[in-house]
Structure 1
Amino acid sequence: MTIETVLEDSRWAEVGIEGLAQRAASATLVRMTLDLAVCEIAFLACNDSRIAELNASFRDKFGATNVLSWPSEERGAPWPGEMPEPPEAGLDGVIELGDIAISYDTCAREAEAAGLPLSAHATHLIVHGVLHLLGFDHIREADARLMEGIEVEILGKMGLKNPYDRE
């Protein structure tokens, strides 16, 4: 798997974001039975200012968010709660999944508020972002249940607790 990482905020280096991205994306792609050798993701590790710009430009939403994803193509399931169609390789044999951006500031605030290590929360957000690249979403209730269940499964296999368990 190729993850092209752009590190715009040096604080991410202290967290080891490149390694976290590699492990989280790999775990997600393995769970979804994709061939790691042919998958590509572009990954931007930035701050609130940058992600707010991206959020406004691409989603017409103002303010920072934790993670954004841009799938290379629409892969969503047509019916609520169904699995999205798996991506197919292009003529060059490569599966270009898309782009992910993650904000240090928002991620750090959320991790602290939840009493989680920053690395654990960032790992969850990367898994979440990769699932978005694969066509998963959480707008419809049934889709949210499916996506969250897969996230919990992947994170559990990585030794991380259920991020949706509020107890």
Structure 2
Amino acid sequence: MKAHIDLQLATEHQNIPTMQNFRAWVEAVLALENMAQAELTIRLVDTEESQSLNFAYRQKNSPTNVLSFEMNAEVPLDIPLLGDLVICAPVVASEALQQNKPELHHWAHMVIHGTLHLFGYDHITDEEAEEMETVEKNILQQFDIPNPYFDE
């Protein structure tokens, strides 16, 4: 599996995972989806940009941890272009603190969660949420990251 990642840093947040981390997390999803390679953009932002995008696309006037924008190419591409993830670094840090988990673990969860959205996974219904959470837990387990949900 090979992930081509355009990493965009638009945040002042200092505690950012490495490119190797991002690549490993995305490639774990690619392996699940049996994709040899794919390309995506991961944009790391501060609260203002996250809030603006969350309002524009989801009509929610607050910053959020991750937004996924799936690419629907009209023409075939040499390398499949999955889309874009926009991750709000301060929200990830704040949530990790609130949930009493290592920040790197929460970053992994958000990248995997967002990438799964790019493959069509969702959590609108209870059944979809259960399926997506199970997939997330299984992938996170590969990195020795415990269940991020508190239901068990």
Tell me the TM-score normalized by structure 1: 0.83
Q: Distance in 1 between matches of 2:117 and 2:133?
A: 11
Which structure 1 residue ranges, 4+ long, deviate > 3 Å from structure 2? none
Query: 1:84 matched to which residue of 2?
Result: none
Gaps of 5+ in 2: none
Of residues 142-151 and 25-34 in structure 1, the stretch that sits farther from structure 2 once superposed is: 25-34
Query: 2:49 matched to which residue of 1?
Result: 50
- Residue correspondence of structure 1 range 6-155 to structure 2 within 5 A: 6-12=8-14, 14-36=15-37, 39-73=38-72, 91-155=76-140
Q: Distance in 2 between matches of 1:123 and 1:11?
A: 16
Q: Deviations over 1:141-163 (max 9, x none)?
A: 11111110000000001110000
Q: Distance in 1 between matches of 2:18 and 2:10?
A: 12
Q: Deviations over 1:19-47 (max 9, x none)?
A: 322111111111221112xx010110111
- 2:52 aligned partner, one-letter code: E
Other structure's SS at 1:28 match:
helix
Taking only the aligned residue pairs, the percentage that are identical comes to 29
Does the CA contact (< 8 Å) of 2:13 and 2:90 recur in 1? no
Distance 1:23 1:156, change over 3 A: same
Higher relative contact order (CA 8 A, sep 6+): 1
Q: Deviations over 1:55-109 (max 9, x none)?
A: 1112221111110001113xxxxxxxxxxxxxx9x53322111100111111111
- 1:62 aligned partner, one-letter code: N
What displacement does 1:164 show? 0.9
Matched residue count: 149
What displacement does 1:17 show? 4.4
What displacement does 1:166 show? 4.9
Gaps of 5+ in 1: 74-87
- 1:162 aligned partner, one-letter code: N
Tell me the TM-score normalized by structure 2: 0.91
Other structure's SS at 1:45 match:
strand
* CA RMSD after TM alignment: 1.7
